[in-house]
Chains A and B, each alone.
Chain A
Amino acid sequence: MALAQAQALVPNLHVADATPDEDEASLRELARWAIGYSPVVAPDPPDGLWIDIAGVAHLFGSEENLLEDLTDRLTGRGIAVRAAVADAPGAAWAVARFGAGGIVPADRTADMVAPLPVRALRLSADKLGTLHRLGIERVGQLAAMPRAPMVRRFGRDVALRLDQALGHAFEPISPLIPHETPMASCVFAEPIGRSDDLKTILLRLSQDLCRQLERRGEGARRLDLIIQRIDQKGANLRVGTAKPTRDARHLAKLFDERMQTIDPGFGIEEVVLVASKVEPLREMQTEARVIAGDSTSEADMGRLVDRLGARIGTGKVYRLAPVQSLIPERMVRKIPPLAPPTGSAWPQTLPRPTRLLDPPEPVVVTALLPDHPPALFVWRKVRHRVAKADGPERIVPEWWNGDAGSVPRDYYRIETEQGGRFWIFRDAPADQGGNWWMHGLFS
């Protein structure tokens, strides 16, 4: 309808120019707001919004609650809203615009989409015209046609849209990444495949990222590397750091070990590096952290710990700190490798072995007198003659730690005739039938 015709029909018609750019900007704004519902949100111009709610619906109780919450809030802001939840983005798009909206049950996608007009398939105007001429008005009609002639007659894009609406074809949505996340990306004119190239790119990206972080006074705690291959398959790598850092070389190096796991396939066309977790880092990273008792070394333990953690997992790098306990198994506790120095050490007065058997292994013992240290013992099928012994050192169970039922142990340090030193204990006095156990090895 021409404007003049409309103005003739409605005398006081208010006319405003269309502003698609501003509309799109507002839509992006809305999409950013919708990240409160799910991290994967994409604007769908001109008037739509994708929200991938896989795995987030339970935070709102159910999908119904989530949908209600979303529509209520948008309506409250004066936005007319139609929303649908479905298994496939195409189905949700169709049901929200042309159907009743609401939840499409997982097994009823085809039933819900079939009665909708073919316009619900996101087709171009000329395809719609063709379908209309042939009298195909409903999605169900199109779906009922034999596949091969249908593809030949209307083209692959119609078949693809149909599959997307019915949930047969996967449809990726490219999520909106909030502005707040520092990221650096690189798109290649020619796909790359060599790992050396990838390393060079990674270093450049991480330098770029570190400049951004520096401007913001932040350091990265977690990095995501997103790699897009030309065949639309992707790979993600994630590394964490023990403390915020913006040392480009170091960050790039963290990916080195796992770079080999990436299969470049026919080539990589895009690499994105995202600092998905950042923490404030004010000072320049020149100060080195030095662990106790050293003035000359400049070891930056944070870097080392990150690199080791990237290889074997962050939980596998640790320090061992003393615990106020005399039970050997409880004397040690793991602390993070960069925790502040505890300053405490284990008491030096009682000799402790360098190797501990956990659990203790049974030994067969011959003692001259019931309460004497053994004169001979058999451990791992080897007979050891005892030359000297020291003990007993009685270690009583710690009732406050919940082992009220266990028995005190009498520990002996034993030196065999060959000079080997062992730490063995008896779990009860001899007259009560105590058994002997090998618990540790001294020097």
Chain B
Amino acid sequence: MQHAGQQDRLADLRLRIAHLEGGIRKTRPLPFGIREIDHHLPGGGLARGALHELVEAGMAAEFAGCATLFTAGIAARLNGPVLWCLTRRDLFAPGLSRAGLHPDRVIYAEAAHERDLLSLVEEGLHERGLAAVVGEMTRLGLTASRRLQLAAEGSGVTALVIRRWWTVAEKDLVKLPTAATTRWRISPVPSEVMPAPGLGWDRWQVELLRCRGAEPRTWFLEACDAKGRLALPAGLADGQDQAAIRRAAAQ
């Protein structure tokens, strides 16, 4: 009985905190469609109208190949047009459409300087009815990220920031704290060994580094399919222990 009372009180407190924060989420979070992740995230999915930060790790992390596809997958599963703000032209649009993000839905805004990006992303976040604003940013300090978070809360547009860097000094900037609701780290891991020569479906190690209201956690997932959905690798779907896979990957 005492336990149930505690639950109620917790729920009540959560509601009051949400009130204080100003943004009572009217929109349901976006589920990943994977039970393990959705149960772990508060509200059962990725919060809409919030700032999410994506970092890539791996051998060619500065290109953020995985993080880009991961982001495209999230954007594809939201409804409506997407604004994609960038400074470098290394994005290959046919690759995005592989995650189900139709080219008609994406408007690109190309800034000449990194310093213009923040205002572009913020401008996009003020436009209600956009599905998401994606920004490929190097610098995102506490103040800047707080601004984006507030803008996202105000309009309900989801902000997805892919952290990019070009020099070693810029790479260190990525480690600094931000006010983002969640921070994810995506890194490629070896795919399943196929019986014949060739490549299996790509696999990622998806780490939730920071999340308001949830513990950090790591999952091994298969990359987005043509509808932007992630999946648990076939060997894991039937309830195999994640930790075992992690150990296997570590070896």
Q: How far is the CB of A231 from chain B (nearest CB, A)?
A: 32
Contacts of B94 in A (CB 8 A): 322, 328, 331-332, 346, 352
* B interface footprint on A377-394 (CB within 8 Å = 1, 0 otherwise): 000001010011110000
Beta-carbon contact of A311 and B65 below 8 Å: no
Beta-carbon contact of A297 and B129 below 8 Å: yes
Residue from the list B69, B103, B203 in contact with A321, Cβ < 8 A: B103
Beta-carbon contact of A297 and B202 below 8 Å: no
Beta-carbon contact of B90 and A358 below 8 Å: yes
Contacts of A293 in B (CB 8 A): 79-80, 102, 104-105
Q: How many A-B residue pairs have CB under 8 A?
A: 208
Contacts of B200 in A (CB 8 A): 388
* A-B residue pairs, 6 tightest by C-beta: A299-B129, A354-B95, A297-B129, A297-B80, A419-B188, A356-B92
* B interface footprint on A413-443 (CB within 8 Å = 1, 0 otherwise): 1011111111000000000000000001111
Instruction: Report the nearest A residue to B127, measured CB to CB.
Output: A304
Beta-carbon contact of A305 and B102 below 8 Å: no
CA distance in complex: A440, B98 (Å): 15
Measured as residues with beta carbon below 8 angstroms from the partner, the interface class of chain B is 35 or more
Residue from the list B60, B128, B203 in contact with A441, Cβ < 8 A: B60
Beta-carbon contact of B131 and A354 below 8 Å: no
Residue from the list A298, A344, A354, A440 in contact with B129, Cβ < 8 A: A298
Is B116 engaged at the interface, CB distance under 8 Å to the other chain?
yes
Question: Among the interface residues B66, B128, B226, which one has the most CB atoms of the partner chain A within 10 A?
Answer: B66
Beta-carbon contact of A320 and B106 below 8 Å: yes
Beta-carbon contact of B98 and A351 below 8 Å: yes
Q: How far is the CB of A291 from chain B (nearest CB, A)?
A: 4
Stretch at the interface among B7-15, B41-49, B107-115, B144-152: B107-115
Beta-carbon contact of A348 and B109 below 8 Å: no
Beta-carbon contact of B111 and A312 below 8 Å: yes
Beta-carbon contact of B65 and A299 below 8 Å: no
Question: Among the interface residues A297, A300, A322, A343, which one has the most CB atoms of the partner chain B within 10 A?
Answer: A297
Instruction: Report the nearest A residue to B192, measured CB to CB.
Output: A388
From 24 to 79 in chain B, residues with beta carbon under 8 angstroms from any chain A beta carbon are: 58-60, 63-66, 68-70, 72, 79
State the B residues within 8 Å of A (CB): 58-60, 63-66, 68-70, 72, 79-81, 83, 89-98, 102-112, 116, 119-120, 123-124, 127-131, 187-191, 193-194, 197-200, 202-204, 223-224, 226
Task: Tell me the count of chain A residues lying within 8 A, CB to CB, of chain B.
Answer: 66
Is A337 engaged at the interface, CB distance under 8 Å to the other chain?
yes
CA distance in complex: A332, B106 (Å): 13
Residue from the list A257, A291, A295, A303 in contact with B105, Cβ < 8 A: A291
* B interface footprint on A322-354 (CB within 8 Å = 1, 0 otherwise): 100000100110000100011111101001111
Is A301 engaged at the interface, CB distance under 8 Å to the other chain?
yes
Instruction: Report the nearest B residue to A380, measured CB to CB.
Output: B60
Instruction: Report the nearest B residue to A348, measured CB to CB.
Output: B226
**Known contacts A299-B130, A415-B191; is-contact A352 B92 (Cβ 8 Å):** yes
Contacts of B108 in A (CB 8 A): 317-320
Contacts of B64 in A (CB 8 A): 355
Beta-carbon contact of A443 and B65 below 8 Å: yes
* B interface footprint on A281-312 (CB within 8 Å = 1, 0 otherwise): 00000001011111111111101110110011
Beta-carbon contact of B63 and A390 below 8 Å: no
Q: How far is the CB of B75 from chain A (nearest CB, A)?
A: 12
Beta-carbon contact of A421 and B188 below 8 Å: yes
Contacts of A343 in B (CB 8 A): 104
Is A357 engaged at the interface, CB distance under 8 Å to the other chain?
yes
Beta-carbon contact of A420 and B90 below 8 Å: no
CA distance in complex: A387, B107 (Å): 37
Q: How far is the CB of A298 from chain B (nearest CB, A)?
A: 5
Beta-carbon contact of B81 and A332 below 8 Å: no
